[in-house]
Structure 1
Amino acid sequence: MAKFNDIQLLRTTFLRGPSVWTYRPVLEVWLDLGELEDYPSNKIPGLNERLTSWLPDLIEHTCGVGERGGFIQRLEGGTWMGHVMEHVIIELLNLAGMPAEFGQTREISRRGVYRMVFRCPEEAVARVALEYGHKLLMAAINDEPFDLKPAVHAIKTAINDRYLGPSTGCIVDAASERRIPHIRLNDGNLVQLGYGAAQRRIWTAESDQTSAIAEGIAQDKDFTKRLLAACGVPVPEGQIVASPEEAWEVAQDIGFPVTVKPSDGNHARGVTLELSKEADIKAAFALAQPEGSDVIVEKFIDGVEHRLLVVGGKVVAATKGETVSVYGNGNATLRELVEVLNQDPRRGPEQEYPLDWINLEAGAVKLELNRQHVTPDSVIPQGQGVLLQRNGNMAIDCLDDVHPDVAYYAVLAAKIVGLDIAGMDMILKDVSKPMQGQGAILEVNAGPGLLMHLKPTSGAPRPVGMAIADHLFPREDGAGAGRIPVVGIVGTRNNAFISRLVGWLLQLSGKLTGVASSEGMFLANRHTQKTNTANWAGAHRLLTNRLAEAAVIQTTARSILEEGLAYDRCLVGVVTDMDGYEQLADHDVLEPGQMRRVMRTQIDVVLDEGEGVLNADLPEVADLAELCDGEVILYATGADNEFVAAHRANTEARHEGGRAVFLKGNNVMLATGTQERVLGTLEALSLAGGKRPDTSALLAAIASAWALDITPELIGAGIKTFEYQA
C-alpha cells in the first residue's frame, strides 16, 4: 500500500475564553489534508479496523448521529481525516483521564483545508494531545505500528504538570457549578475566584481569609498545643527536646508510651507512635529532626486517628485512619507482600490518591520493622502480621458519626488558632461519643489536603469544595456572587468612545470603574496605560484588579478569532456593527455574512439577568436579539425603525414591552413598550466643552448605561460632564 504524506498542521491557536466555537477554551488547528482530501475513511483499507482496535472506546462517541456508535457509523460511511483526528484526540484525552467532551471540524474555502477544534482547558496539554493524535492517525492511515501506552502516558504527564491539584480543583469546580468565574494566576494552585473587587483567592485549601499569623501559629505545634490547653481543649502533654538523650529523659518524665514528631512538619512525616524503648525513641528523634525546626516528645494517647475538616466555623467532613499491615503466606518476602499491597488502585502519590504507597526505605517504616525484628527480605510465616504504618492513612469517611461535642472542640480549636479552613488531627477512641476522657487534639493544620474527603476508601465522598466555595461566597449574596458589572463592546464604530463614556457613567453611579479600550486602560480617573488594551490581555489585567468594582471592555472581531473573550459572561453585551470583514481574510472571513458567527459571541455570553444592546439601524445586528439569554435594548437613529417598533410591541420577555433608545426629531427618547421619556435634545446632551459626539455612538452608550440601571437623570448629567479626548 502506498504511503500517504503527513497531514500538515498549518496553524494552531489556543482560544482562552468564549469564541466562535464554544464558551470554554479550545485549541483550534488548521489542517491541510493534501492528497488525503480524496481519501475519506471508507477508502483507506484497514483504517477503521486499526483505529477501533487501538481505541475501542471510539464506539462511545455519539458524534452528530446522537447515539452510541455514531462516530463508527460516520467512519464506515466515509468521513474526512480532519474529523477523524478530532475524535482520535478526544479519545486520547479521555484515556488520559481528562474528558474533552467537545470537538468540531469545518472545511474552509480552500480545498482540503479544515479548521479542527477540541476542548481543553490547558494549552500545553492540548498541544501534547494534538501531537500524539496526529501521530496515531498517520500510523493508522499508513498501516504502521503505534504504541498507545507512551502516548497516553505523555498526555497524563502533561496533565499532572499543568492541572490544578485535587484540593484547588474541587473548589474551582464547585465555584463553576455556582457560575462563579475563575482565573488561574500562576502555573501552580493560586486561583482567583470572581472578578475585580468581588474576587477571592485560593491556594490549595487556603483562602485570602487565611491569616498569615494563624498559619504561623498552626505550624508551631508546641505553641499551638499551649494555646489550645489554655482555652480548655484536651491536648497531649509534651515538650520540645534538643537531642536524642533529652528525648529519652523527657519520655521517662512524661510516662510511656510516647510519640516523637517534628514541631512543624506535615502529612505525618517524621511522626512515630507508641514508643517505650530508649533505642526506638532515639531513632525516632533522628527521623523527626530533618522534618521540622524542633522535635517534640509527647504522651501517646491510645485511640484512632481522625481528621476533621472545619470550614467557616463548621465541621464539613471527617475521616478516620487505620494501621497498615500485611500478612504472610509462608513463601513471600515482606518486599513481595508490599509490592502486592501497592498495586491497590487506591494507592499512589499522596496528592492524587487517598492512600500512599508504602515505601520500605522510608525511615518510619524501617523503624516499625526494626521494632518487629523483620527486614524487607524476611519471609513472613503463614498468617503472621507485620505492621508497616501506624498513621497517615485517614481515608475512611465518618462524618455522620461525629458527636456534637467532638465537632465543638474541632471548631473551637480552629477559632483559637484563627484559621477559617483547618484540618484537625484528633485521637479518639470513639468519634460518636463526647470528647472528654477519650480523646485529644493532636494538631491543627492550615491548608489541609482535601483528597481524603473527596475519595475516601470507604464511605461517602463529601462536597468539601462546595463548602469552601459557599464559605467564600455565601449563598445569601445571590446569583451574582463573585461578579462585578462587566460590559463587553464589539464593533468598529466609535467603540472606544462608547467604552469610555459608559465607564464614566458607571463611575458617577458610585462604582470604581475600569475601562480597557483601544485608547488604553483607565481606572477611575486615571489613564493607567496608553497603548491598545482592546484585547484579551487588557481585559484580563482589568478583571484581576482588586480595585475594579465594574469593568467596561472593548474587543474586536480579530481578538475573538485569535484569543477568545477574557470573561466567561457579561452583564451587558454591546454590538455596534459588523464591519471589517475585509481585514479578516486570514481567518477565512470573506464576506459580510460570515461576521455574524464572530460577532454573536458577544451576545452569546450575556447573563440571563443581563441585557444585550444592539444597533437596530443595521438589520444584521438587530437580528442577534434572538440569541441573547437576557433582555435586549435596541438603539436607532430614527423613530420609525421597524426593529424598534416590533421590539417595543413584544411583551414576551418584558410584559410592558421591549426597551429602546432612539432619536425622535432632535430628542433622545427612552422607551419601554408604549411608554416614552425624553432624555434630552442632542444639543443638551453635548459633552463637556460643547463637543457633539457621533449620534449612534451616543445612543449606544446611553442604552448601555440604561441597561446597567443607571438613572436617566444621572445619564444626562454625566454626558454633559464627560471630558473626552481621543
Structure 2
Amino acid sequence: MNKRYIDIINVISLRGPNIWTYRPVLEAWVDIGDLEDAPSNTIPGFYERLNAWLPGLIEHRCGIGERGGFLLRLKEGTWPGHILEHVTIELQNLAGMQTGFGKARQTSKRGVYKVAVRSRNEQVSRTALFAARDLVMAAIDDQPFDVAAVVEKLRDMVDSLCLGPSTACIVDAAADRRIPSMRLNDGNLVQLGYGSRQRRIWTAETDKTPAIAESISSDKDLTKRLLSSCGVPVPEGRAVDGPDDAWEAANDIGLPVVVKPSDGNHGRGVSTNLTTREDIEAAYKLAIDEGSEVLVERFVPGDEHRLLVVGGRVVAAAKGETAWVTGDGASTVAQLIDSQINTDPRRGLTEEFPLNLVLLEEDPAVRLELTRQGYSPESVPEQGKQVLIQRNGNVAFDITERIHPRVAAVAALAARVVGLDIAGVDLVAEDIGRPLDEQRGAIVEVNAGPGLLMHLKPASGEPRPVGRAIVDHLFGDQESGRIPVVGVAGSHGTTLVARLVGRLLHLHGKYVGVACGDGLYVNERRIEKGDCANWQSGNRILMNRAVEAGVFENGCRAILAEGLAYDRCVVGVVTGIDPDALLPDFYIDDAEKLVNVIRTQVDVVLPDGVAVLNAGDERVAELASLCDGDVLFFGQHPDLPRLQAHRQQDGRAVYLRDGQLIMAVGTEESALCRMADIPMAAGDAERHLEAILAAVGAAWALGLPADLIRTGLETFDNGLAAAK
C-alpha cells in the first residue's frame, strides 16, 4: 500500500538553549512514510509548484551556503523532512516573523525525522509548521493550495501574539549587547537581565518610569502648569466645561485656538487653527468624546514635532506633515483620499507602517476639517482645487539632525519637569532649527510610553537607534544584566553539586536560587519539593528580583523536552556521561547522541566563563574544545592524562592526592582540606567524591576564596544521602 503522507507525530517547544541552537526552537518529529523512497527530484512538477508558490525560497542558502542553495538541493533530490523545514521558515518570514535557522535530521527509525526551526512565538511557529506540511503535501499531490490565505492568517497571529515593533527594537538592542531577555506576559512586558540585575520594560516605559510622572503626563492641563512654572514655553489656555465656555475661553486667549481632550493620546480629538464659534463648539464635542476634560489653547503656527527624550537627552525627532488631496472635477473627496493618500505604500493599519490610513468613517476630526471647508465626503472638488484632509498627525519624517541645541535642551527639561525617564515631547514650531522663543514655538504635550515606530521606520530620513538608546539608559557600559549562573549537567551527582555550590555561594553572601532534583531553593529555604530541575523552576529563579546568583541542575530529559532556562552561564559543570543512560523515547539511542545533549551545557558557557569538566571521563573531557571560555578539570587522581596535559598548559585542576583535596594551577599545588574532614565524604566517599570535586571546581571558577570553600565543605548538611 502506498503511504504518501507527512505525519507530524510530536511537537516540542524548546524555550531555551538546546541541542540545536542557543535560541528557542520548535522541534517536530515527522514521519514521512513511503516518501522516504521519493526524494523531490522523483516527483513530477514538484519543484515548479513549490517554487511558484514560494519564490522567496531562492534566498535560502541551505548547507551549500549560497543564494539558491536550497533550490539546488530540491532539484538534485532531498526529502520531505528537509523541505518541511525550509517551507516552515519561509512561511514565518512571509508573516513578518523573521527566521533563518532550521535543521532536519533523520532518526534511527526509518522515515522519521526531527525538524527544528527557530521560533520567536510558539503559536505562530506551530501554525506555520502544520500549514507547511499541508503545502508540501499539496505540491507533492499536485493539488491547489491558497498560500495567500495562510500567510494572511499567520500575519494576523504575528500582529496579535508577537512583541510590538517598539518593544522588539529594545529587546533586539539588548541582545546586541548580550543582555538576556524574558517575556513576562502575552503583551509587551519584558524583563531584561536576570535576578537582582534585571530591568523591566513595557513598550517604552521602564521600571525607572515613576507612576506619578506618568499620571502627570496624562493630565495635559497639569503638565502645562508645571512646565510653565519652570520656564518651558507652553501655549496659553485653560480647561473648559462646555461649548459656550470653550468659545468664551477662545475669545479670552485670542483666535485662532486649539481644542483638545486633556487626557487623550495619539492626536485623537484634537482640532487646530479654529476661528469661528461654530467650529469651536463642534471641536469641543469631538474632544469630549476622547477624554474626560477639554482644553482650549492658543494656536501655535508651525509644524507638529515629536522629540524622543531618553535619560535626559534627545535621541530622535520627527516632524508631521499635513495631508491634502487635489480635485479632478469628477471624484468625490472620499475617492480622492483613497486614490491620492491611502495608496501610499507607507500607509497601513498595523504598526509596521509609518503612516496611518485615512479612514473617514473612523476619524471624526477629518470630517470636521472637511466641514470647516464646506465639503463632505461625497463632495466633488473642482479640477485643481486643494482640500485639506488632515491638519495634524503623520509625525513620521525624521529631522533629528536639524534640531537646534536650545530646542533639545527645552525638550529635555520638559521631560525632567514631568519626571519621565523616557518621554515623547510634542512641540509646534515653524523651524526646528531655531530656538522656540524666536518664533513663539511651544511645547504642547509630554507623553509617557511614546511610540518608537516613527523613529525606527520613518516615512523619510534616517532610522534612529532608539532601542539602543533605551538599553544604554537602563544598563551602564559595563553592565550585562547578568547574575552569576551555574549550570550542572551529567549522568550522576548533579543534585549534590547544585546544592553544594548553592551553599558555598550563600556563605559568600549571595542571595541564591537553586533549581535541582530535590526541590526549588531560595536563600537556603526550600519553597517547593520534588524534582525542580526543569525550565519552569529555573525561570522562576531568574525572574526573582532578590536572587543574586542562580544554580541550575539540567538533566538530559529536561534539555531535550524544554531546553535550558538561561541563555548563557558563567560556570558550566559536567559530572560524567553514562553511555547506558540513553533516552530512546527521544531517539537518543547511542552514546554519541547522548554526548550531543550534554554538550549543550558546555556550549552556553560565556567567553569569560569556565567549564568544569571531569577529566576521568573521556567523553566529558573531549567537550573542552567546545567551550568558549576557560576549562577547569577535576578528577580523583592527579595522574589522569587529560588532567596532566591541562596542567602542563598552566590550566587549573582539582583532584585528590594522599587523602588531600588539591587545587592546582599548572605545577603549583595548594591543599584545600583533608577528605576525612568532609562529613559527606564519610562512609560513602566514592559515591560523593566526584560531586565534591566538581563543586569545588565550580566554586573556584566563581572566584570564591579557599577558606570559604573549606568551611562550606566541612559544615555542609549531609542530608543528601539520597542525592542523585
**What is the TM-score normalised by the length of structure 2?**
0.97
Q: Does structure 2 retain, via aligned residues, the 8 Å contact 1:488–1:602?
A: yes
Cα pair distance change 1:369/1:659, threshold 3 Å: same
**Paired residue for 1:363?**
364
Q: How many Å separate the matches in 1 of 2:206 and 2:564? A: 27
Correspondence for 1:653: none
Cα offset, 1:689, TM superposition: 11
Alpha-carbon separation, structure 2, partners of 1:687 and 1:269 = 70
Q: Secondary structure at the match of 2:249?
A: helix
Q: CA deviation at 1:583?
A: 5.0
Q: Report the CA distance between 1:295 and its aligned residue.
A: 0.6
Matched, 1:91 2:84: no
Q: In structure 2, what is the equivalent of residue 26 of structure 1?
A: 25
Report Cα offsets for 1:167-225 as digits up to 9, x if no partner. Answer: 11110000000000000000000000000000000000000000000000000100010
> Mapping of 1:432-447 within 5 angstroms?
432-438=433-439, 439-447=441-449
Secondary structure class of the residue paired with 1:436: helix
Mapping of residues 213-612 of structure 1, within 5 Å: 213-340=212-339, 341-349=341-349, 351-361=351-361, 362-438=363-439, 439-475=441-477, 477-478=478-479, 481-579=480-578, 582=581, 584-612=583-611
- Correspondence 1:605-644 to 2 at 5 A: 605-644=604-643
Distance 2:463 2:305 in 1: 16
Q: Could you say which residue in structure 2 is the equivalent of 1:695?
A: 689
Shift of the alpha carbon at 1:16?
0.7
**In structure 1, how many angstroms separate the alpha carbons of the residues matched to 2:599 and 2:266?**
50
Aligned residues, how many?
Answer: 716
Any idea what the Cα deviations from partners look like across 1:361-414, whole Å, max 9, x if unmatched? 211001000011111122222221111111121111111111111111111111
* 1:178 counterpart residue number: 177
Q: Secondary structure at the match of 1:344?
A: coil
Q: What is the CA–CA distance in structure 2 between the aligned matches of 1:426 and 1:503, rounded to whole Å?
A: 54
Amino acid paired to 1:403: H
Amino acid corresponding to residue 375 of structure 2 in structure 1: V
In 1, the alpha carbon distance for the partners of 2:682 and 2:259 equals 78
1:40 has 2:39 as partner:
yes
Q: Deviations over 1:638-673 (max 9, x none)?
A: 1111100011112xxxxxx11100011111111111
- Are 2:8 and 2:28, in contact at CA under 8 Å, matched by a contact in 1? yes
How big is each residue's C-alpha offset from its partner over 1:57-86, in whole Å with a ceiling of 9 and x where there is no partner?
Answer: 222221111222211221111111111111
* Cα distance in 2 between the residues matched to 1:136 and 1:525: 53
Alpha-carbon distance in structure 2 between the residues aligned to 1:247 and 1:233: 25
Q: CA separation of 1:688/1:272 partners in 2, compared to 1, >3 Å: closer, same or farther?
A: farther
Q: Decide whether the 8 Å contact of 1:581 with 1:589 is kept in 2.
A: no
> How far did residue 492 of structure 1 move?
3.2
1:175 is aligned with what amino acid?
A: A
1:326 positional shift: 1.1
1:248, 1:320 → 2: CA distance?
30
Give yes or no for contact 1:688–1:719 (8 Å, CA) kept in 2: no
Question: Following the alignment from structure 1 to structure 2, what is the Cα–Cα distance between the partners of residues 544 and 16?
Answer: 15
| Aligned residue in 2 for 1:189 | 188
- Is this contact kept in 2: 1:688–1:721, CA < 8 A? no
The structure 1 residue matched to 2:662, chosen from 663, 669, 672, is: 669
Deviation of 1:582 (Å): 4.0
Instruction: Report the secondary structure of 1:6's partner residue.
Output: strand
- Measured in 2, the distance between the counterparts of 1:213 and 1:350 equals 31
> 1:494: Cα distance to partner?
2.1
Q: Do the aligned partners of residues 681 and 689 (structure 1) sit closer, same or farther apart at CA in structure 2, a change above 3 Å counting?
A: closer
Structure 2 counterpart SS, 1:301: coil
Preserved contact between residue 679 and residue 716 of structure 1 (Cα < 8 Å): yes
Secondary structure of the structure 1 residue equivalent to 2:190: strand
1:725 partnered with 2:719: yes
The residue identity in structure 1 corresponding to 2:118 is R
Q: Give 1:4 deviation, angstroms.
A: 5.9
Give the whole-Å Cα distance in 2 for the aligned partners of 1:351 and 1:91: 22
SS in structure 2 opposite 1:151? helix
For structure 2, the 5+ residue unaligned runs are none
Q: In structure 2, do the counterparts of structure 1 residues 545 and 24 end up closer, same or farther at CA, with 3 Å as the change threshold?
A: same
Q: Is the 8 A contact 1:108 1:114 kept in 2?
A: yes
AA in 2 matched with 1:708 = L
Bigger CA drift: 292-301 or 681-690? 681-690
Deviation at 1:580, TM superposition (A): 7.0
Comparing 602-611 and 512-521, the one that deviates more: 512-521
Q: Using the TM superposition, name which of 688-697 and 536-545 deviates more.
A: 688-697
Q: Secondary structure at the match of 1:345?
A: coil
Deviations 1:77-114 (A, max 9, x none): 11111111111111212222222111111111111111
Q: Return the letter of the residue paired with 1:418.
A: G
Residues 313 and 411, structure 1, Cα contact 8 Å, conserved in 2: yes
SS in 2 for 1:57: helix
Q: 1:594 to 1:273 in 2, by over 3 A?
A: same
The residue type equivalent to 2:599 in the other structure is R
Which residue matches 2:647? 648
Q: What letter matches 2:695 in structure 1?
A: A
Q: Distance in 2 between matches of 1:205 and 1:397?
A: 19
Contact 1:167 1:450 (C-alpha < 8 Å) held by counterparts: yes
Deviation for aligned residue 1:690: 10
Equivalent-residue separation in structure 2 for 1:679 and 1:622 (angstroms): 23
TM-score normalised by L of structure 1: 0.97
Query: Per-residue displacement from partner, 1:663-721 (whole Å, max 9, x unpaired)?
Result: 11111111111111111110123359999681111101000000000011111112222
Paired letter, 1:522: Y
In the other structure, the counterpart of 1:654 is: none
Structure 1 contact 542–551 (Cα < 8 Å) conserved: yes
Deviation at 1:493, TM superposition (A): 1.7
Indicate the SS of the match to 1:33.
strand
Verify the 8 A CA contact 1:40 1:79 in the aligned structure 2: yes
SS at match of 1:671: strand
Trace 1:101-120 onto structure 2 (pairs within 5 A): 101-120=100-119
Query: Which residue does the alignment assign to 2:652?
Result: 659
In 2 relative to 1, CA 35–691 (structure 1 residues): closer, same or farther, beyond 3 Å? Answer: closer
| Per-residue deviation, residues 278-323 of structure 1 (Å, max 9, x unmatched) | 1111111111112111111111111111111000011000111111
> 2:661 corresponds to which letter in structure 1?
V
Any unmatched runs of 5+ in structure 1?
A: 651-656
Q: Distance in 1 between matches of 2:57 and 2:591?
A: 38
Deviation, 1:723, is 2.1
CA contact (8 A) 1:635 1:703 kept: yes
**Secondary structure of the equivalent of 2:679?**
coil
> Identity rate of aligned residues, in percent?
54
- Could you say which residue in structure 1 is the equivalent of 2:698? 704
Structure-2 separation of matches of 1:63 and 1:711: 49
Separation in 1, partners of 2:269, 2:107:
62
Indicate if the aligned counterparts of 2:203 and 2:449 stay in contact, CA closer than 8 A: yes
Question: Does structure 2 conserve the Cα–Cα contact (< 8 Å) formed by 1:581 and 1:590?
Answer: no
Q: Tell me the C-alpha RMSD between the 2 structures.
A: 1.5
